[in-house]
């Protein structure tokens, strides 16, 4: 019998509720409700062991083993939740797990017995996923106007987006959400997101820009690393306002070297270059390999841009029929000012 009071995902907001995720660290890392604290009752290994018992023996055997594992941890779990609760006395404690089942219910019951009034999230984090899915369906039915920032590799589009976002513009930095820079080299120095984490970040950012007349994104492909971008955003590449930025070649080369920090990621750079070996003429590839050996990364980047990335981009641009606004400058600040001026006209 469930004697714990529940709350729905639609009632949750960060100003009034303190969320505790009792799932395993691996589940939490895959994705979680923003702002939640992870107070795992099972380690990754313990969860796997108990899941196996449930499948191969019985529910009773799994629950018995679960109790054996959790019992010694209860004082620590209580201290973690109590500590956060004391720091946020105005907030109500909410406990959640995967589906709003035994894990969250048992911890909520225990906390209530220990004097910490706790609610259980109805449906667990699955209810949060359903909310995201429903929101994305609404976006598909009534898409917002999209402004697409595009340009050759290295034209500082990500830097532009970050600065615009800091100044309050309605930016969706898809690469940042994906934890991937969007090319064969994209995962270097990053922590790639799961699809669920990416969609959670996207949902939260879309909520923040709900009152904006348009959304600003970088021109992306369907996949960014291992995540898939929703169609309602991709369509903006073809139907939205397109702003094409151009910067001098030498600035692009220096920017790419600064972003990827090749001296810190030598092996990963070599691995990524090797993946391009069938797409670049062998003589050029030999030149690239020689420059890798001598750590001349500016030459490596120049050769890759001239012989792969720029031609590939130019070909892709021929597929568009819509007009685009072309902006160029000899400096980052110059092109940033021009981008802002265009955006201010469209976002009035």
pLDDT tens, position by position, 271-292: 999 999 889 999 999 999 999 9
Rounded to 5 degrees, what angle do the CA atoms 101, 106, 108 make? Answer: 100
Tokens 């990500």 label which residue?
Answer: 158
pLDDT of residue 220: 87
**Per-residue DSSP letters for 105-167?**
HHHHHHHHHTT--EEEETTHHHHHHHHHHHHHHHHHHSPPEEEEEE-STTS-HHHHHHHHHHT
Tens digit of pLDDT for each residue in 54-92? 899 998 998 899 899 999 999 999 999 999 999 999 999
pLDDT of residue 346: 87
pLDDT of residue 116: 95
pLDDT of residue 1: 43
Mean pLDDT on 326-338: 97
Is pLDDT above 60 for 344?
yes
- Structure tokens that stand for 336 in this block: 């940033």
pLDDT of residue 316: 82
pLDDT of residue 14: 81
Mean pLDDT on 243-270: 95
């Amino acid at each position: 019998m469930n004697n714990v009071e529940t709350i729905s995902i639609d009632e949750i907001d960060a100003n009034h509720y303190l969320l505790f995720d009792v799932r395993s660290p691996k589940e939490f890392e895959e994705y979680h409700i923003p702002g939640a604290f992870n107070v795992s009752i099972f380690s990754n290994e313990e969860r796997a062991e108990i899941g196996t018992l449930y499948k191969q023996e019985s529910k009773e055997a799994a629950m018995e083993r679960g109790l054996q594992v959790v019992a010694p941890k209860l004082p620590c779990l209580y201290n973690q939740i109590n500590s956060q609760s004391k720091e946020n006395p105005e907030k109500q404690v909410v406990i959640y797990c995967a589906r709003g089942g035994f894990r969250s219910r048992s911890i909520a019951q225990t906390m209530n017995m220990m004097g910490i009034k706790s609610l259980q999230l109805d449906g667990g984090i699955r209810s949060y996923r359903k909310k995201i899915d429903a929101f994305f369906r609404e976006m598909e039915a009534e898409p917002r106007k999209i402004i697409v920032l595009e340009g050759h590799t290295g034209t500082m589009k990500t830097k532009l987006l970050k600065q615009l976002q800091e100044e309050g513009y309605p930016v969706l930095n898809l690469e940042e959400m994906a934890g991937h820079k969007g090319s064969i080299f994209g995962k270097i120095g990053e922590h790639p997101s799961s699809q669920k984490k990416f969609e959670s970040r996207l949902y939260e950012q879309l909520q923040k820009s709900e009152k904006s007349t348009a959304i600003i994104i970088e021109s992306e492909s369907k996949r960014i690393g291992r995540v898939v971008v929703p169609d309602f955003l991709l369509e903006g590449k073809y139907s939205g306002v397109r702003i094409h930025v151009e910067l001098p070649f030498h600035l692009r080369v220096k920017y790419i070297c600064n972003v990827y920090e090749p001296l810190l990621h030598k092996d990963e750079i070599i691995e990524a270059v090797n993946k391009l070996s069938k797409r670049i003429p062998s003589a050029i590839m030999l030149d690239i390999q020689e420059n890798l050996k001598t750590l001349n990364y500016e030459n490596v980047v120049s050769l890759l841009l001239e012989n792969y990335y720029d031609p590939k981009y130019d070909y892709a641009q021929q597929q568009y029929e819509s007009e685009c606004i072309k902006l160029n400058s000899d400096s980052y600040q110059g092109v940033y000012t021009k981008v802002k001026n265009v955006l201010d006209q469209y976002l009035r």
